[in-house]
């Protein structure tokens, strides 16, 4: 199995604050890998650095063996990394369809774009029903679906998901996580950042637990689900 993403000794600062203190992790091609931890642990910082939005002071990131550590965000996107952002961050005054078109800006092939529309509407039929609707008027769950759909419009090899369950009702979360599993089955590798550890471990193959800029635990998801330390710290109850 190939490594889609390799992060080695990554250090990122915000001014004088050390956000990441030398983390190392990898994502195998075809897997869902979870990055868990509480607020301020450095999860979103990790995704932002992978997608080229932040600079690192030390360390290396490779995407299918290619060094992308100092590559600009637009080139990283063109290689096949797309991110669904925390808090959705849609273009609220644009329609559903126009938001999706924005996600396909790297793709010049019109047939490929249409195929991607069909794929996204296959995962999220409600978006097809709402395609002419202004995105600001969608429910929270529909906006999250649109955010993931927009990222998928770029045909990513690696999909970065930042807190897809944030602020959503449990039933909607369950639905979205089922669709994330489908996306992985269809061949897209996924790195998911979440505070909802229990739901995430149920769909992930492997997980890392980040605490104040350092990885303090890692392992196969089923092992972490049965780890009493993790259960106590992050899961509370496994029900």
| pLDDT for the residue 30 | 97
Instruction: Say yes or no to pLDDT of 235 above 80.
Output: no
Identify the band that residue 196 occupies on the pLDDT scale cut at 50, 70 and 90: confident
Which superfamily does CATH assign the domain made up of 1-80+156-239 to? P-loop containing nucleotide triphosphate hydrolases (3.40.50.300)
Q: pLDDT tens digits for 52-79?
A: 988 899 999 999 999 999 999 999 999 9
Mean pLDDT, the chain, whole residue set: 91
Distance (Å, rounded) from C-alpha 222 to C-alpha 236?
A: 16
Instruction: Say yes or no to pLDDT of 216 above 60.
Output: yes
Q: Name the residue ranges covered by the structural domains of the chain.
A: 1-80+156-239, 86-155
Q: What's the DSSP call for residue 62?
A: E
Instruction: Say yes or no to pLDDT of 238 above 70.
Output: no
Instruction: Say yes or no to pLDDT of 234 above 80.
Output: no
pTM: 0.93
Phi, psi of 167 (to 5 degrees): 75, 10
Q: pLDDT tens digits for 24-49?
A: 999 999 999 999 988 888 999 999 99
Distance (Å, rounded) from C-alpha 190 to C-alpha 202?
A: 14
State the Cα angle at 26 between 74 and 174, rounded to 5°. 85
Instruction: Say yes or no to pLDDT of 197 above 90.
Output: no
Closest CA to 23 of 211, 196, 220, 197: 211
Strands 206-211 and 214-220: antiparallel
Phi, psi of 81 (to 5 degrees): -115, 125
């Amino acid at each position: 199995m190939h490594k889609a993403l390799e992060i080695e000794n990554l250090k990122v600062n915000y001014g004088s604050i050390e956000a990441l203190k030398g983390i190392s992790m990898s994502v195998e091609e075809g897997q869902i890998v979870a990055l868990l931890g509480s607020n301020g642990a450095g999860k979103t910082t990790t995704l932002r650095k992978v997608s080229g939005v932040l600079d690192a002071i030390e360390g290396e990131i490779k995407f299918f063996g290619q060094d992308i550590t100092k590559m600009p965000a637009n080139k990283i996107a063109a290689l096949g990394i797309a991110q669904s952002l925390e808090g959705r961050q849609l273009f609220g005054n644009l329609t559903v369809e126009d938001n999706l078109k924005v996600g396909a800006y790297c793709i010049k092939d019109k047939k490929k774009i249409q195929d991607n529309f069909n794929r996204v509407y296959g995962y999220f039929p409600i978006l097809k029903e709402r395609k002419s609707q202004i995105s600001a008027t969608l429910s929270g769950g529909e906006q999250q679906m649109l955010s993931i759909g927009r990222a998928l419009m770029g045909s990513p090899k690696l999909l970065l998901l930042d807190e897809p369950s944030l602020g959503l009702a449990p039933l909607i979360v369950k639905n979205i996580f089922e669709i994330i599993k489908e996306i992985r089955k269809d061949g897209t590798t996924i790195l998911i950042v979440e505070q909802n550890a229990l739901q995430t471990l149920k769909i992930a193959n492997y997980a890392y637990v980040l605490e104040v800029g350092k990885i303090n635990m890692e392992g196969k998801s089923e092992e972490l689900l049965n780890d009493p330390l993790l259960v106590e710290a992050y899961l509370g109850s496994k029900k």
